[in-house]
Amino acid sequence: MVSESIRNQFVEFITLQGFDDKYIDRQEEKRILEVGVKNNISVEDTLTLIHEIAEEKGLVIERDIEDKTKAVLEKAVTDGKITKKEFEEAFNIFKTACKGKVPDQEIKQRLKQMMETNGWKAGGLFGIKWYTTI
């Protein structure tokens, strides 16, 4: 069991990570998890605290954006393929959610990597040039 003072300090640490830009990227999330473990707070409890603080303070968590975007692509995939329109929809969701903290080209590369990791191909009536240029 973690003391209330350590918990309160940890909540402040989480808040501080997103203080300047209201955004918790993967590196900040990992640092929070490491500090949580050092303070005998389980990974599960730390993740719960991160989400509670994010909701309370209006912080965005990068991993959540990626999960949401992946769910959009999973829903859109037909016959193992994603169309340019569906890709752009996922891109716009990611871009809006990250509040400009991730450059457009990096978002596209992440989405392309997500497609490749899941074995999804580019498709559609207008070819795949849009995909190969990413």
Q: Same structural domain for residues 71 and 48?
A: no
Strand partners, 78: 81
Give me the DSSP letters along 61-120.
EHHHHHHHHHHHHHHH-BTTEEEHHHHHHHHHHHHHHTTT-S-HHHHHHHHHHHHHHTT-
Q: Same structural domain for residues 27 and 50?
A: yes
- The string of pLDDT tens digits covering residues 4-60 is 888 888 889 999 998 889 999 999 999 999 999 998 899 999 999 999 999 999 999
Q: Same structural domain for residues 66 and 127?
A: yes
Q: Same structural domain for residues 113 and 67?
A: yes
Where does a domain end: 19, 41, 58? 58
Instruction: Print the domain residue range for 94.
Output: 62-132
Q: What pLDDT, on the 0 to 100 scale, is given for residue 26? A: 93
Q: Same structural domain for residues 43 and 105?
A: no
Interval 90-115 mean pLDDT: 95
Q: Same structural domain for residues 67 and 110?
A: yes
Q: Same structural domain for residues 52 and 74?
A: no
Q: In total, how many domains does the chain have? A: 2
User: What is the rounded average pLDDT for all residues in the chain?
Assistant: 92
Q: Same structural domain for residues 49 and 67?
A: no
What confidence category does residue 124 fall into, taking pLDDT thresholds of 50, 70 and 90?
confident
Q: Same structural domain for residues 44 and 74?
A: no
